[in-house]
Amino acid sequence: MRRVFLGFLLLIVSSVACAQAQIPEPKVVKINERVYALLGPMGLPSSHNQGYMVNSTVIIGDQGVILVDSGGTDVVGKHLAKAIAKITPKPVTHIINTHHHGDHHLGNVAFKGAQILSSEQCRELVEKTGMEWVQIMESLVGRKFPGTRPMPATVIFPGESSSERSIQGVKMQLWVPLGAHTPGDMMVYLPDDNVLIGGDILVNTTTPVMRDGHVRNWIAALAKAQDFDAATIVPGHGPLMTKADVAKLHKLLAGFYAGVETGYRKGLSDSEIRNTLDLSEWKKLKEYETNMGGNISRAYLEVEAANF
């Protein structure tokens, strides 16, 4: 009987281990000979995706790889490392984090010795909230990640700045707009490749999340993003974008904010304003029901502050 019980226990442990190992594979899109998009699955972190639901970008330099956004846990980071190894034998020498949300930076720890770059405020927020994001990921996925810990940037760029760098022989422009999706966003533009990497300021086919954002700044950042000569745009979540897609997102956010502002000036509450907005295009996006109520409340508070 004891042998039967031990056998049953081993079967359960084995099944759990197998379930944990089944992280979805990234969709690898070759943009050109040195730039690849690793498109993660859509949705919130869950046991199904094991916390992997973000886009990353692989930029192959002279001696190593620059990785933009490393995933939400050490396990996801290692998963991405395996995908990168299938593209190039070169090691990841640099990581660029587009903002402080855990799904974009908690995989940093999987890339030993890599230099990490971010905006100055992103680093401050990673230091302040990084362990909270570990707990959030563990709660949503339903397992512990003992190997996951925040790894803040060692190279930082000030707010409202644009810096030109050559990393591993790759020319890039690191643009830190006035806080939009988060207070510490950063976009990466590759002028020789006509590629713009937007983090979560740019998302495609899913609802933008405004919880930590400043909507008016976000609208301005989307307007500026269209000035880059980008043939291919990598969003933080969803399929690759074009400038036409960015223009559509810009129009959507601008119309949304204007609608909330109009309702506020009529004396309506945020819940009353929802019934006055044209949300037909928003309803086509993934995670609409999850995020739209919070987005309206966030925009309402911003409008209220602006009109105080």
pLDDT in tens, 136-164: 999 999 999 999 999 999 999 999 999 99
Reported as a pLDDT band with limits 50, 70 and 90, residue 109 is very high
Reported as a pLDDT band with limits 50, 70 and 90, residue 15 is very low
CA distance 115 to 154: 7
Residue 308 has what pLDDT?
A: 81
CA distance 253 to 265: 18
pLDDT in tens, 157-216: 999 999 999 999 999 999 999 999 999 999 999 999 999 999 999 999 999 999 999 999
Domains of the chain listed by start with CATH number: 23-306 (3.60.15.10)
Tokens representing 127 are 């230091």
pLDDT in tens, 257-271: 999 999 999 999 999
Residue 205 φ/ψ region, left for φ over 0, alpha for ψ in the -120 to 50 degree band, beta for the rest = left
Look at the alpha carbons of 123, 100, 95, 245 in this order and tell me if their dihedral is positive or negative.
negative
Q: How many CB atoms lie under 10 A from the CB of residue 191?
A: 14
Residue 19 has what pLDDT?
A: 45
Residue 214 has what pLDDT?
A: 98
Mean pLDDT calculated for residue range 83-110: 98
Residue 105 has what pLDDT?
A: 98
Work out the burial of residue 90: count CB atoms within 10 Å of its CB; fewer than 13 is exposed, 13-18 middle, 19 or more buried.
middle
Tokens representing 253 are 């956010």
Closest CA to 295 of 30, 287, 147, 109: 287
Residue 259 has what pLDDT?
A: 98
pLDDT in tens, 46-86: 999 999 999 999 999 999 999 999 999 999 999 999 999 99
pTM (predicted TM-score):
0.93
Residue 21 has what pLDDT?
A: 52
Residue 1 has what pLDDT?
A: 46
Residue 17 has what pLDDT?
A: 40
pLDDT in tens, 208-258: 999 999 999 999 999 999 999 999 999 999 999 999 999 999 999 999 999
CA distance 8 to 270: 54
